[in-house]
Amino acid sequence: MRAALLAVILLLLPARAPAGIEVVASIAPIHSLAAQVMEGAGTPYLLLPPGTSPHDHALKPSDARALERAAAVFRVGPALERWLDAPLATLAGDARVVSLAEVTGLTLLPVREEAAFESHEGGHEGDAHEGEPDDPHLWLDPENARLWLGAIAETLAAADPANAALYRANAARAQADLDALVAAIDARIAPGRGRPFIVFHDAYHYFERRFRIEAAGAVALSDASAPGPARIAEIRARIAETGAICLFREPQFRSGLVETVIGGTGARVGVLDPLGADLEPGPGLYAALLTGLADALATCLD
């Protein structure tokens, strides 16, 4: 009797997905997107922990082991993670390595090296296979993330056919969730549109263009290297010229430099984080990251 009852209970339980494959993601936003697609089949491995610069990183032994075991590796591309080229060549020989900057149909924007930014004109939607975009911070445009979710799902479906339907269903659900996220961010940011601000380095071009809120300039170069005296003087002049309300620093950089830049200008200091340094890695990080940018902008520009 007990055996028959147990058999009935097992039949009524939902079927569990087969165990998934080993997957590696370079940075937290990509890891979050991959985690959403893999939900129910496994968890991706994150190479760069929160707060680590994507421009330079030394692999730990656990990172090397993860790359050796990986069936798929997702990265932005060499423009952001040049340090990853050699480890991929030597450790991830059997993995499907996907540079997401090469996905077809992305919105691509040029890097802005000058201290003072011009209009956002010049961005285009194109085929990234024609050449990697100069600005590698593509994840900050949720429409790019929408395309990446599909690309991640198809890569995993090819590598792990047993879970193909799950990956595709998860990606479709995550893409639908982006619609609500974009609407919420658009409403949150609306009151600050047209109010000038300065960023620490040019990491937010994609976010600005998508949500129609434009930075007037950047303290540091696009790779976040320290600015020299001439650059600082130029930014101080830009703050005075535009009447910039806020200068946004980033969590990993010392605040003393920002205080030097804004001293006597009347500008406020806010914090923008393009990578989610203070966020818990996982499926929810991507939405929390973009929401955090919107909240920081709206609060400082109010």
pLDDT in tens, 8-17: 333 443 445 5
- Is 40 part of any domain? no
| pLDDT confidence of residue 222 | 64
| pLDDT of 122 strictly over 50 | no
| pLDDT confidence of residue 224 | 64
| pLDDT of 133 strictly over 70 | no
pLDDT confidence bin for 116, thresholds 50/70/90: confident
- Is 258 part of any domain? yes
Q: Going along 48-134, which residue ranges are E strands?
A: 72-75, 96-99, 104-108, 124-127
- Between 223 and 60, where is the model more confident? 60
Q: Which of 77, 117, 123 is nearest to 202 (CA)?
A: 117
- Is 155 part of any domain? no
| pLDDT confidence of residue 56 | 73
| pLDDT confidence of residue 127 | 43
| pLDDT confidence of residue 185 | 98
- Is 254 part of any domain? yes
- Is 66 part of any domain? no
Q: Which of 43, 46, 50 is nearest to 25 (CA)?
A: 46
CA atoms of 19 and 41, how far apart (whole Å): 6
pTM: 0.89
Q: The tokens of 148 are what? A: 């990446």
DSSP string of 15-63?
PPPPP---EEESSHHHHHHHHHHHTTT--PEESS-TT--TTS----HHH
- Is 272 part of any domain? yes
| pLDDT confidence of residue 256 | 80
DSSP string of 170-190?
HHHHHHHHHHHHHHHHHHHHG
pLDDT confidence bin for 252, thresholds 50/70/90: confident
- Is 275 part of any domain? yes
- Is 44 part of any domain? no
- Domain containing 279 equals 192-301
| pLDDT confidence of residue 142 | 98
- Between 6 and 217, where is the model more confident? 217
CATH of the domain at 251: 3.40.50.1980
- Counted domains in the chain: 1
CA atoms of 292 and 271, how far apart (whole Å): 10
Residue with tokens 């075991």: 69
